């Protein structure tokens, strides 16, 4: 059809200009996609939460421990299937920069996290070795840990040097699972602490509580907290998702800033595209006037301009979206364990497309309006 | 032998829409570049302002933060008695044995439960921080459940006004005063009596000891003695240095991310400048031919167009910096990843940031305008004149 | 007196898509100082090319080309630029003024290639603009001037550095009859009063009529000159 052919021919007329505009669009769509993915990655922890898991912590603060004997009491609450203790370890591996999560956990922990896939033989080896450690695939890849490796950690909360032996590497059930974590035995932690700094012994960081009925999560949480109300260590029990979101929400300001900045880049490219279309339309004023004398109406001219603008936007965004995936993978590997889950979501891709269409449309608005309005006389004067 | 600057200037003014759009794009990039640096500066300034040059902070060895540090009473007493610790007018040692814990308070606007640093201080605690002033109410009385809160806490959290109550550690605490601490991290803290806090949280150990040195150079002797004593497991640092390290993780993240973003965004803006300048050259081929015929050299033509691009950058730079300076009205409050607690800071504009942002803007102009300027210079005179 | 232009065996061809197209073949030409020469011929005859070569904005393939006493074929590009600035004034069919500069600033432009001070430049420009009769229109932009006025500004620009020769390519091509006559009269004055040697390419018989001698070109070859 004439219109489409004209649009494409026009796009190719000024190869350098079109090419540059498209490169700009690719860069913008790509950056936009990456930034949105960075924000999503932050919330990823909450995405990976299971509805049948609750977290019980000290009501005052996550930093304040709970007594060990709470475990049996929680276990006895109606609706609770299993309870496992976990302590945040915060050790340093070689350099404080090498951050990854470390937890001292009871073996029951792993039955609550079926998304961590561990080969039976490795799990048994871990179970048998007091100093054994289970590490996630991502963590193993980042630091080159292999089964049998000795990993020393310098304790900060629990002072001293701690040595562990990697007994197994776990994989995640899907891309959303965090495989950047380092697990070891809670018993080993407690025994060692009893020997080194007895005052810090028998303290739990959090309890993971697995419940039988997902719909009773709120009830069970309330019952657990009721057990310890008015005691020296009151508890706060919430779903795992609420717990994860709690962290994220505290850095909300940064996340909002990143989202705003991601839209800024769209405005930058909008300025570039609007400029391109305005210049192009201005240069073709004579042609538009000629087309009008031939009988083509304002609607045709508008279609030409919108068509060209959208053609550039669509092609540029397709390339941008396609590139987002490999670049995101590269970015994730560079970031190591800082972003354990880094996935480009479907929403992000749709947003990228929507932004491209918006830019393509907005950039053509003023030039199209002017072209429709050009008086044949003025336009023809522009020639020669 | 230079084509007058007004030639470039006037050409920018003539193509008003194009100039606005192109330098507008550059302005946005400069805005991001400057704002990120302002954020980083604000963060570091807040934390550095927290430390006094003559103060030291003693924590347990290898504890990066006060939260994860524990110093028992015996060790704390030893620290207090060191000769390098200054004495106040009342001949008591200028040392404060402090207990730092995290409590959660709901934020006023969002209701989000947020970690807030609560610091139990010793009697010398306020004397050691001369930047601190009570701006409402009064100082708390030692030996009671009275507390004072920093300005930022009073603004952002519920239940933090004078006369109100906060509940933590199994007790109710009365807010009797609000203090301002010169825009430092303390503005985001709640302060009370260390002994009272330790009782409430059933702690036997302090988190840290803050003390004033007799003179700045005394640090080395003191650090040596304390760190080499086998009975003690301590780290001695200058207070400023300690807080500077607290900002490192976030500061690195902000600057790294910010710089990467600025560079990527600048590609878009430079492409915009390139498109504009290529069009400018294409539209003025006749003028270029005429200028060359008149006797202006290729270099003069190159500079005229390059200067136009640099001007575009300059306009973008000024607008971008102006926009960024508006951010000084904004205060950010977020979780400091190292101390794991609330920290409020603002965007801080420094002359260095203004200069670097402006230079960045000019650089974008130069890079974007270079190839088109070269094209202008490489035109042959007759081809250019023939184009008219 | 030494001739202003001395040309011997001048040849020039252009490459067009792999083929070499001869434009000028073995041109011999002498132009005396103070002469007013018209170059005429059909389209494609090479007259504009010859003008460009004399003006130093194009280089011949072979032959001698001596203008204002200098063999300009031996000059480097920058030397040629300097030479043009001092010795050649240009008058174009479409005036070729900078649209963003005022009449004053357009005339001043070539003076930036000299080491005159701002005050000295101003004096020269005022003089030149008075001479072409535009003393009261100095601050106007080209878009605010008629075709004839713009060409007068161009002529002022062409004489501002007091060059020896003026080259004009169809100076009246875009003007109405009245303005064309005014411009031709002005050019005659430049030739008579200021002694400028003028070489003019034209189709216009009225313009040709004002020239002192006519050279005709056809297919790159000079016909025998006559009036």
pLDDT score for B97: 92
Tell me the shortest Cα–Cα distance from C202 to chain B, in angstroms.
16
State ipTM.
0.93
Residue C14 lies in a domain: yes
Count of beta carbons in the 10 Å neighbourhood of residue A171: 16
Question: What is the pLDDT averaged over residues A112-141?
Answer: 91
- The verdict on B2 touching A (C-beta cutoff 8 Å) is no
- Say yes or no to pLDDT of A250 above 90: no
Give the chain B residue nearest C59 (alpha carbons). B382
- Say yes or no to pLDDT of C87 above 90: yes
Chain B with chain C: Cβ pairs closer than 8 A:
66
Which token pair is B318?
């000024």
Phi, psi of A358 (to 5 degrees): -60, -45
Restricting to B residues 197-216, those with a Cβ less than 8 Å away from any Cβ of A are 201-202, 204-205
Task: Give the model's confidence band at A295: pLDDT under 50 very low, under 70 low, under 90 confident, else very high.
Answer: confident
- Say yes or no to pLDDT of C97 above 90: yes
Q: Write the CB contacts of B231 (distance below 8 Å, at least 6 apart in sequence).
A: B75, B78
Give the chain C residue nearest B8 (alpha carbons). C100
* Annotated domain spans of chain B: 5-48+248-386, 55-214
pLDDT score for B293: 95
- Say yes or no to pLDDT of C227 above 50: no
Task: Give the model's confidence band at C226: pLDDT under 50 very low, under 70 low, under 90 confident, else very high.
Answer: very low
Which residue in the set B22, B62, B268 is minimally distant from A27, CB to CB?
B268
Q: In angstroms, what CA-CA distances link A375 with A285, A293, A381?
A: 10, 10, 10
pLDDT score for B291: 96
Q: Do C110 and B6 touch (CB under 8 A)?
A: no
User: What is the 3 state secondary structure string of chain B?
Assistant: CCCCHHHHHHHHHHCHHHHHHHHHHHHHHHHHHHHHHHHHHHHHHHHHHCCCCCEEEEEECCCCCCCCCCECHHHHHHHHCCCCECECCCCCECEEEEEEEEEEEEECCCCCEEEEEEEEECCCCCCCCCCCEEEEECCCCCCCCEEEEEHHHHHHECCCCCCCEEEECCEEEEEEEEEECCCCHHHHEEEEEHHHHHHHCCCCCECEEEEEECCHHHHHHHHHHHHHCCCCCEEEEEHHHHHHHHHHHHHHHHHHHHHHHHHHHHHHHHHHHHHHHHHHHHHCHHHHHHHHHHCCCHHHHHHHHHHHHHHHHHHHHHHHHHHHHHHHHCEEEEEECCCCEEEEEECCCCHHHHHHHHHHHHHHHHHHHHHHHHHHHHCCHHHHHHCC
User: What is the 3 state secondary structure string of chain C?
Assistant: CCCCEEEEEEEEEEEECCEEEEEEEEEEEEECCCCEEEEECCCCCCHHHHHHHHHCCCCCCEEEEEECCEEHHHCCHHHHHHHHHHHEEEECCCCCCCCCCCHHHHHHHHHHHCCCCHHHHHHHHHHHHHHCCCHHHCCCCHHHCCHHHHHHHHHHHHHCCCCCEEEEECCCCCCCHHHHHHHHHHHHHHHHCCCCEEEEECCCHHHHHHCCEEEEEECCEECCCEC
Q: Do B286 and C99 touch (CB under 8 A)?
A: no
Restricting to A residues 224-253, those with a Cβ less than 8 Å away from any Cβ of B are 232, 234, 246-247, 249-253
Q: What is the pTM of this model?
A: 0.83
A and C touch per CB criterion (3+ pairs under 8 A): no
Question: Closest Cα to residue B131, out of B208, B190, B195, B48?
Answer: B48
C and B touch per CB criterion (3+ pairs under 8 A): yes
Which residue in the set C57, C84, C100 is minimally distant from B7, CB to CB?
C100
Domain that holds residue C67: 5-222
Residue of A13, A46, A60 to mutate for B, most B C-beta atoms under 10 A: A60
| Chain A positions in Cβ-Cβ contact with residue B266 (cut-off 8 Å) | none
- The verdict on B169 touching A (C-beta cutoff 8 Å) is yes
Question: Closest Cα to residue B246, out of B117, B182, B336, B131?
Answer: B336
Long-range contacts of C202-207 (CB under 8 A, 24+ apart): C202/C38, C202/C39, C202/C40, C202/C168, C202/C170, C202/C171, C202/C172, C202/C173, C203/C40, C203/C170, C203/C173, C204/C170, C204/C172, C204/C173, C204/C180, C206/C172, C206/C180, C206/C181, C207/C38, C207/C171, C207/C172, C207/C180
- The verdict on A362 touching B (C-beta cutoff 8 Å) is no
Spell out the per-residue pLDDT of chain B, length 388, in tens.
Answer: 789 999 999 999 998 989 999 999 999 999 999 999 998 998 888 887 888 888 999 988 877 788 878 888 888 888 888 888 888 777 788 899 999 988 888 888 877 778 889 999 999 899 899 989 999 999 999 999 999 999 999 998 988 889 999 888 778 999 999 999 988 889 999 999 999 999 988 888 899 999 998 887 888 888 888 888 888 888 888 888 888 887 777 788 888 888 888 998 999 999 999 999 999 999 999 999 999 999 999 999 999 999 999 999 999 999 999 999 999 988 888 877 777 778 888 899 999 999 999 999 999 999 999 999 999 999 999 999 987 6
Task: Give the lowest-confidence range in A18-32, A54-68, B354-368, C18-32.
Answer: A54-68
Q: Do B382 and C57 touch (CB under 8 A)?
A: yes
pLDDT digits (tens, 9 = 90+) for A4-42: 777 777 777 788 888 999 999 999 999 899 889 988 888
Residue of A90, A254, A337 to mutate for B, most B C-beta atoms under 10 A: A254
Give the chain B residue nearest C58 (alpha carbons). B382
Residue of B4, B290, B298 to mutate for C, most C C-beta atoms under 10 A: B290
Gap between the Cα atoms of A312 and B254, Å rounded: 34
Which token pair is A259?
């989202």
- What is the per-residue DSSP string for A231-288? SSS-EEEEEHHHHHHHHHHHTHHHHHHHHHHHHHHHHHHHHHHHHHHHHHHHHTHHHH
Q: How many Å is the maximal CA-CA distance in chain A? A: 96
Restricting to B residues 326-355, those with a Cβ less than 8 Å away from any Cβ of A are 332-335, 337, 340, 342
Mean per-residue pLDDT of chain C: 91
Which residue in the set A261, A274, A279 is minimally distant from B261, CB to CB?
A261
pLDDT score for B388: 65
Task: Give the model's confidence band at A97: pLDDT under 50 very low, under 70 low, under 90 confident, else very high.
Answer: confident
Q: Write the CB contacts of C53 (distance below 8 Å, at least 6 apart in sequence).
A: C10, C12, C24, C59, C60, C65
Give the chain B residue nearest A254 (alpha carbons). B334
Residue C57 lies in a domain: yes
* Residue for token pair 């769509």: A29
Q: Do B3 and C92 touch (CB under 8 A)?
A: no
Task: Give the model's confidence band at A336: pLDDT under 50 very low, under 70 low, under 90 confident, else very high.
Answer: low
Q: Do C112 and B1 touch (CB under 8 A)?
A: yes
Tell me the shortest Cα–Cα distance from A171 to chain B, in angstroms.
27
Residue of C55, C59, C109 to mutate for B, most B C-beta atoms under 10 A: C109
Most confident of A293-307, B59-73, B87-101, C75-89: C75-89
| Chain A positions in Cβ-Cβ contact with residue B334 (cut-off 8 Å) | 250-254
Report chain C residues touching chain B, CB-CB < 8 A. Answer: 52, 55, 57-58, 77-78, 81-82, 84-86, 90, 92, 94, 96, 98-101, 105, 109-110, 112-113, 157
* Residue for token pair 């336009």: A379
Tell me the shortest Cα–Cα distance from C125 to chain B, in angstroms.
16
Chain A with chain B: Cβ pairs closer than 8 A:
144
Q: Write the CB contacts of A147 (distance below 8 Å, at least 6 apart in sequence).
A: A122, A125, A166, A167, A168, A169
Q: Structurally, how many domains does chain C consist of?
A: 1
Angle at A148 between CA A142 and CA A149, to 5 degrees: 45
Give the chain A residue nearest B344 (alpha carbons). A253
Q: Write the CB contacts of C141 (distance below 8 Å, at least 6 apart in sequence).
A: C99, C100, C101, C102, C103
For chain A, helix, strand, coil in percent to 5 are: 60, 15, 25
Which residue in the set B6, B294, B382 is minimally distant from C90, CB to CB?
B294
Give the chain B residue nearest A153 (alpha carbons). B62
pLDDT score for C150: 95
Residue C227 lies in a domain: no
- The verdict on A256 touching B (C-beta cutoff 8 Å) is no
Which token pair is B250?
């976030």
Residue of B286, B293, B378 to mutate for C, most C C-beta atoms under 10 A: B293
| Chain B positions in Cβ-Cβ contact with residue A158 (cut-off 8 Å) | none
Q: Do B112 and A199 touch (CB under 8 A)?
A: no
**Dihedral sign (CA B311, B314, B320, B325):** negative
Q: The domain spanning residue C143 has which CATH number?
A: 3.40.50.300
Restricting to A residues 121-150, those with a Cβ less than 8 Å away from any Cβ of B are none
């Amino acid at each position: 059809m004439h219109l489409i052919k004209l649009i494409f021919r026009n796009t190719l007329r000024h190869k350098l200009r079109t090419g540059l505009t498209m490169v700009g669009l690719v860069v913008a769509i790509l950056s936009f996609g990456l930034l949105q993915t960075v924000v999503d990655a932050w919330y990823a922890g909450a995405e990976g939460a299971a509805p049948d898991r609750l977290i019980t912590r000290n009501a005052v603060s996550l930093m304040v421990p709970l007594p060990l004997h709470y475990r049996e009491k929680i276990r006895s609450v109606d609706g609770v299937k299993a309870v496992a203790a976990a302590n945040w370890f915060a050790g340093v591996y070689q350099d404080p920069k090498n951050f990854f999560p470390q937890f001292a956990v009871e073996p029951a922990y792993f039955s609550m996290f079926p998304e961590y896939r561990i080969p039976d033989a490795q799990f048994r080896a871990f179970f048998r070795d007091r100093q054994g450690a289970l590490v996630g695939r991502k963590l193993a890849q980042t630091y080159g840990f292999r089964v049998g490796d000795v990993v020393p950690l310098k304790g900060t909360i629990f002072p001293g040097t701690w040595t562990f032996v990697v007994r197994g590497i776990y994989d995640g059930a899907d891309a959303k699972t965090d495989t950047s974590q380092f697990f070891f035995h809670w018993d080993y932690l407690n025994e060692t602490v009893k020997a080194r700094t007895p005052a810090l012994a028998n303290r739990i960081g959090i309890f993971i509580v697995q419940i039988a009925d997902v719909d009773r999560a709120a009830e069970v949480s309330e019952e657990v907290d009721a057990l310890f109300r008015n005691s020296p260590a009151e508890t706060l029990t919430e779903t795992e998702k609420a717990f994860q979101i709690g962290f994220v929400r505290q850095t909300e300001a940064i996340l909002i800033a990143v989202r705003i900045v991601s839209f800024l880049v769209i405005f930058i490219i909008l300025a570039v595209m609007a400029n391109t279309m305005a210049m192009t339309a201005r240069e073709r004023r004579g042609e538009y006037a000629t087309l009008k004398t031939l009988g083509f109406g304002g609607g045709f001219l508008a279609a030409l301009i919108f068509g060209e603008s959208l053609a550039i936007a669509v092609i540029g965004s397709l390339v941008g979206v396609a590139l987002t995936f490999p670049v995101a993978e590269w970015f994730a590997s560079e970031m190591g364990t800082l972003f354990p889950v880094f996935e480009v979501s479907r929403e992000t891709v749709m947003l990228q497309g929507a932004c491209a269409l918006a830019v393509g449309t907005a950039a053509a608005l003023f030039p199209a309006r002017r072209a429709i309005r050009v008086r044949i006389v003025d336009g023809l004067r522009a020639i020669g | 032998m230079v084509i007058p600057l007004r030639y470039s200037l006037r050409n920018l003014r003539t193509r008003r829409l194009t100039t606005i759009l192109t330098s507008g794009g550059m302005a946005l990039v400069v805005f991001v570049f400057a704002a990120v640096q302002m954020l980083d500066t604000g963060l570091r300034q807040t934390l550095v302002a927290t430390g006094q040059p003559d103060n030291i902070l003693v924590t347990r060895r290898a504890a990066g933060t006060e939260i994860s540090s524990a110093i028992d009473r015996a060790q704390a007493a030893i620290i207090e008695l060191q000769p390098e610790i200054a004495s106040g007018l009342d001949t008591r040692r200028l040392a404060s044995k402090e207990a730092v814990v995290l409590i959660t308070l709901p934020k006023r606007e969002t209701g989000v439960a947020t970690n807030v640093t609560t610091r139990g201080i010793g009697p010398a605690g306020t004397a050691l921080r001369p930047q601190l002033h009570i701006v409402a109410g009064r100082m708390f009385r030692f030996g009671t459940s009275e507390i004072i809160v920093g300005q930022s806490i009073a603004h952002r959290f519920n239940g933090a006004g004078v006369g109100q109550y906060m509940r933590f550690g199994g007790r109710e605490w009365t807010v009797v005063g609000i203090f301002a601490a010169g825009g430092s991290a303390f503005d985001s803290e709640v302060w009370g009596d260390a002994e009272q806090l330790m009782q409430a949280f059933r702690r036997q150990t302090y988190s840290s000891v803050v003390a004033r040195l007799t003179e700045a150079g005394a640090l080395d002797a003191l650090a040596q003695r304390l760190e080499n004593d086998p009975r003690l497991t301590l780290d001695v640092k200058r207070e400023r240095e300690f807080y500077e390290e607290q900002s490192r993780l976030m500061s690195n993240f902000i600057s790294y991310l910010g710089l990467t973003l600025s560079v990527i965004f600048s590609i878009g803006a430079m492409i915009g400048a390139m498109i504009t300048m290529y069009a400018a050259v294409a539209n003025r081929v006749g003028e270029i031919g005429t200028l060359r015929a008149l006797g202006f050299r290729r270099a003069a033509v190159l500079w005229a167009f390059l200067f136009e691009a640099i001007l575009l950058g300059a306009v973008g730079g000024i607008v971008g910096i102006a926009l960024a300076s508006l951010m000084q009205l904004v205060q950010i409050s977020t979780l400091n990843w190292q101390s794991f607690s609330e920290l409020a800071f603002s965007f801080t504009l420094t002359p260095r940031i203004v200069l670097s942002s402006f230079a960045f803007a000019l650089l974008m102009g130069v890079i974007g305008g270079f190839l088109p300027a070269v094209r202008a210079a490489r035109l042959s005179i007759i081809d250019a004149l023939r184009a008219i | 007196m030494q001739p202003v232009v001395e040309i011997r065996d001048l040849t020039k061809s252009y490459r067009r898509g792999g083929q070499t197209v001869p434009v000028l073949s073995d041109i011999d030409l002498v132009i005396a100082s103070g002469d007013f020469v018209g170059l005429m011929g059909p389209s494609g005859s090479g007259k504009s090319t010859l003008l460009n070569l004399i003006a130093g904005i194009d280089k011949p393939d072979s032959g001698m080309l001596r203008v204002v006493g200098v063999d300009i074929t031996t000059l480097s590009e920058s030397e040629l630029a300097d030479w043009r600035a001092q010795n050649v004034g240009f008058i174009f069919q479409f005036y070729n003024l900078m649209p963003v500069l005022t009449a004053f600033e357009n005339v001043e432009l070539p003076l930036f290639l000299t080491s005159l001070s701002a005050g000295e430049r101003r004096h020269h420009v005022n003089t030149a603009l008075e001479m072409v009769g535009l003393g009261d229109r100095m601050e106007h932009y080209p878009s605010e001037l008629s075709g004839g006025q713009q060409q007068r500004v161009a002529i002022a620009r062409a004489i501002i550095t007091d060059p020896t020769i003026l080259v004009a390519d169809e100076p009246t091509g875009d003007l109405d009859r009245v303005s064309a006559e005014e411009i031709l009269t002005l050019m005659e004055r430049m030739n008579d009063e200021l002694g400028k040697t003028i070489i003019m390419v034209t189709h216009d018989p009225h313009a040709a009529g004002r020239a002192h001698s006519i050279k005709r070109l056809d297919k790159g070859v000079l016909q025998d000159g006559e009036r």
